[in-house]
A = this chain, B = another copy of it.
Amino acid sequence: MERNTLSPATTLPADASRMSRPQRAAAAIKDWVVERGMRPGDRLPGESELMAHFGMAKGTIREALRVLEAQGLIRTRTGPGGGAFVNEVTEARARALLGNYFYFNEISIRDIYELRHALEPLLVAQLAGTLGEGQLEQLAAVMTAYETPPETIDEAEQHRMAELDFHALLASFSENALLRFQCRFLFSLLKELTICRKIYRREIPGFRKAGRDYQSRLLQALREGDSGAAKAIMRAHLNAAQTTMEQQESVVLRQFLSESEER
């Protein structure tokens, strides 16, 4: 059974005419690797061989390899037996690269929660009844991180991060790689967006406890294989969280505006 699901050439823009030489070289090496059906861990030819094969100087080849490295497609090691090796793109790197795109595309809390509403109820409905005891325990273990009320702002922030970890862990259990990634990307946004970071450092009475309650009930439904209940609990949880987050968002924005006026 063939494992390469994507066609080779189409993975990059490929407007060959106005690409710089190193970029072309990177594309060429990539295609060369794909054609050969090389798998993660396989070693690419050394720099000198690549120079000979593609008729380009060392510097150009090196720049090409760096391009592939930046995309997460290869890693290189020095020393004997070293060289460039095919590398499986990690989820973390994929998230980071995609994050660059949204650096320029303003997104709001509402945008994120719209997606959460669309994806997470589906996620838990699928997961209900399929999780092993070990997985359920992992989820419970994450929840212990915010068992007790936070005593400092820093601790409160950590709790919020751990709550997101709970959702991210849940998503990682999905069989659907697309669903898994898209959910987990949303959580990385919720962790990194500056507006969110500001919100996490505010007191929100009752929020932590309510979240834990939802998650406990969710675990119960997942254990019992009750898809409908899991979906309903998740929906309610998201509604509550979204309301709080959007309220806090407006508070933070007002704060920011009044601070601006003070100058």
Contacts and interface: CB of A to CB of B under 8 A. Distances in A.
B102 A179 contact: no
A70 B122 CA distance: 35
A73 B100 contact: yes
A13 interface: yes
A88 B192 CA distance: 19
A61 to B, nearest CB: 11
Interface string A190-209: 00111101000000000000
A89 B72 CA distance: 17
A192 B7 contact: yes
B193 A5 contact: yes
A173 B2 CA distance: 36
24 contacts: A5-B103, A6-B99, A7-B197, A10-B192, A11-B103, A13-B92, A20-B76, A40-B104, A59-B62, A66-B67, A71-B97, A88-B104, A89-B101, A89-B103, A91-B101, A97-B97, A102-B177, A102-B178, A107-B176, A114-B122, A115-B176, A117-B122, A118-B179, A178-B186
Interface in A82-101: 88-89, 91-94, 96-101
A23 B69 contact: yes
Contact of A107 (B11, B115, B177, B192): B177
Closest 4 CB pairs of A and B: A94-B101, A67-B70, A105-B177, A70-B70
A100 B72 contact: yes
